[in-house]
């Protein structure tokens, strides 16, 4: 971590806050899917009932759950590395996995014709893009 009065501190803080934000977002979401698999599956089955994805909801839920858990875990590990050594590579990979997860979620919302839900993902995706730019090495 750079000194508080260093010109590098604001960039480091953006990097750390983005990694923390993505870790919280995806660990919470992924763990919720694991803990309440049945509830999430039931809700998503109804959500996609009139979409071309209606027949693949269980594997879709498993895939997005794994993607979210990976994005959250790698982002959390990236935050630890960033704090302990200043390295950004692990956090950058967490942001990349986060971006892929948001694109997958966005695709699903659009396929379900849930345009408001898709639009709600945009600010999260923008944070991910900021993270990728801030963490580039």
- Is 13 part of any domain? yes
Q: Is 64 left (phi over 0), alpha (psi -120 to 50) or beta?
A: alpha
- Is 64 part of any domain? yes
Residue-wise DSSP of 80-107: HHHHHH---HHHHHHHHHHHHHHHHHHH
Domain count, the chain: 1
Q: What's the predicted TM-score (pTM) here?
A: 0.94
- Is 97 part of any domain? yes
- Is 2 part of any domain? no
What range defines the domain where residue 55 resides? Answer: 9-135
- Is 4 part of any domain? no
pLDDT tens sequence for the chain (137 residues): 888 999 999 999 999 999 999 999 999 999 999 999 999 999 999 999 999 999 999 999 999 999 999 999 999 999 999 999 999 999 999 999 999 999 999 999 999 999 999 999 999 999 999 999 999 97
- Is 84 part of any domain? yes
- Is 3 part of any domain? no
In 3D space, the residue among 23, 31, 124 whose CA is nearest the CA of residue 73 turns out to be 23
In 3D space, the residue among 77, 64, 79, 75 whose CA is nearest the CA of residue 31 turns out to be 64
- Is 79 part of any domain? yes
């Amino acid at each position: 971590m750079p000194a508080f009065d260093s010109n590098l501190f604001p960039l480091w803080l953006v990097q750390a806050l983005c990694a923390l934000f993505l870790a919280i977002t995806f660990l919470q979401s992924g763990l919720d899917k694991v803990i309440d698999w049945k509830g999430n599956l039931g809700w998503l089955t109804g959500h996609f009932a009139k979409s071309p994805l209606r027949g693949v909801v269980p594997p879709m839920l498993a895939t997005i759950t794994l993607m979210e858990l990976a994005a959250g875990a790698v982002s959390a590990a990236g935050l630890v590395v960033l704090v302990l050594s200043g390295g950004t590579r692990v956090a950058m990979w967490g942001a990349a996995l986060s971006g892929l997860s948001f694109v997958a979620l966005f695709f699903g919302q659009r396929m379900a014709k849930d345009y408001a839900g898709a639009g709600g993902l945009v600010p999260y995706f923008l944070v991910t893009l900021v993270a990728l730019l801030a963490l580039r090495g």
